[in-house]
Structure 1
Amino acid sequence: MERKQPNYKLIYSDIISIKCPGKKEECRPILNKEVISILDVIRLNLIIFGIRDKETQIFNQKHRSYDEKTIIEILDYQVKNNLNNTQLANHFKLSRNTVTKWRKHFKNRHLHSIQG
């Protein structure tokens, strides 16, 4: 059975309206998308809440999960920007082992060829 995603548009629209209406314009391009990806959710969180202290940031990173579409989007970002695994891991605050595991698992599942 397919897991249903939360309605991120509604959730973040409500958060912006109630907590920080001044950030509405900055968030509008993401909220106007037909489908909001997990990476979009991360971007919205950064816009709305900013970067918290280091301890909170580490805790939040440990509890993130990525769906297949998002992983492929991240791996495509690597190819488009000609990044090695370390650079990609640093950019998205992932471990290098995670990136390596994803590359092995998804090497035949996305459109762009992954550079070695």
Structure 2
Amino acid sequence: MKKTCVNYKLLFLDILDKKYPEKKESCRNILKKQELSILDIIDLNRIIFGCIDQERSRFDQNHRSYNESSVFQILDYQKKHKLNNSELARHFKLSRHTVRKWKNRYQI
């Protein structure tokens, strides 16, 4: 089976062009980057779609997946901002158990 990568930059540009042209300027700095990180994607999603209701948020959270580089970026964010596991979990809407599991797996 062939694994495909999603071109998030193109996807967000299409969404901005077709549905939210007024928000394009506020996303410009992030979209200028050569490659988007998972943190950039989360920021773009928040800027474009804003707050979502609790039911939708729960559904989205159940369908998120993180690759190894995303996990390292999130854990680096924790170090950079001096957050504990609970604060990091709240910020990224993760469980504390997930954060602890990542830290144990990657021995950070």
TM-score interval, smaller chain = over 0.9
Gaps of 5+ in 2: none
Aligned length: 108
Report what 1:38 is aligned to: 38
Deviation of 1:3 after TM superposition, in Å, equals 4.0
Other structure's SS at 1:34 match: coil
What is the aligned-residue RMSD (CA, Å)? 1.5
The equivalent residue for 2:18 is 18
1:74 aligns with 2:101: no
- Work out the CA distance in 2 between the residues paired with 1:106 and 1:25: 38
Calculate the TM-score normalised by the size of structure 2.
0.92
Unaligned runs of 5+ in 1: 108-113
Structure 1 segments, 4+ long, off by >3 Å, are 1-4
**3-state SS, counterpart of residue 83 of structure 1:** coil
Distance 1:27 1:3 in 2: 28
The letter of the residue matching 2:103 is R
The CA distance in 2 between the partners of 1:87 and 1:55, in whole Å, is: 22
Q: For residue 2 of structure 1, report the CA deviation from its aligned partner.
A: 8.6
